[in-house]
Structure 1
């Protein structure tokens, strides 16, 4: 543990297990390649899905359990407690499923980690799993 990090507690482990379970459920119930790519991007990014208001706007209960409903989330996109970078990322994810109009140029607002996540998601949408996304040597 480095200076400034909070110690990991049992509550963190429980929260982390609940988050992993939610992510697995969302991946199971994503019905289209578009939805799967968008869910995977949100799971990899993590901080957006950890916001209670986002989960409230995104999740709908179905007979198969919680499912991502991106159209519902888009209506709340600008009222969620997200920073500018998170909003840009979310806008790009929503555009992947055909909701909203976010230009690709908004990747400029993303840090390297989020930019890599979006690039991998775009490759998933294209059906390409052979192009590596990461630091150039």
Structure 2
């Protein structure tokens, strides 16, 4: 008589795996980093670019995915992005840390990205009474 032994093999479905955005949010070291990551996640397009992910995303010493904002700031102008993309990322970098950019950079981004930057700024301020968006 032979018996078969069922093996419990766990596979990670892509649907069950956390998104890169969720991993980066979980590893955000402080409120500034969290606001910057939230802006990138909400914007969606730039974080989907391999060259942006390669410049920004690192594996932390704890083995988690994280953002190297300093390295990203140094590489921003080498990524082959258009002026609007760079303006948005300049503003995100200013949220994340000591990177400085002029607020006039908002002139170079569209309404959707402006709303994302404004929501991230409000999130960073800790204010929960301001709403950013279109009034109906």
**Cα deviation, residue 100, structure 1:** 2.4
> In 2 relative to 1, CA 87–19 (structure 1 residues): closer, same or farther, beyond 3 Å?
farther
> In 2 relative to 1, CA 37–83 (structure 1 residues): closer, same or farther, beyond 3 Å?
same
Who wins on radius of gyration, i.e. which is larger?
Answer: 2
Runs of 4+ with deviation above 4 angstroms: 17-20
**Cα deviation, residue 125, structure 1:** 1.1
Q: Is the 8 A contact 2:21 2:41 kept in 1?
A: yes
Distance 1:109 1:93 in 2: 14
**Aligned Cα root-mean-square deviation (Å):** 1.8
Q: Which stretch has the larger CA shift, 45-54 or 57-66?
A: 57-66
> In 2 relative to 1, CA 132–19 (structure 1 residues): closer, same or farther, beyond 3 Å?
farther
Aligned residues: 122
Query: What are the equivalent positions in structure 2 for 1:23-38 lying under 5 Å apart?
Result: 23-38=21-36
TM-score between the two structures when normalised by the length of structure 2: 0.82
Q: Is the 8 A contact 1:53 1:80 kept in 2?
A: yes
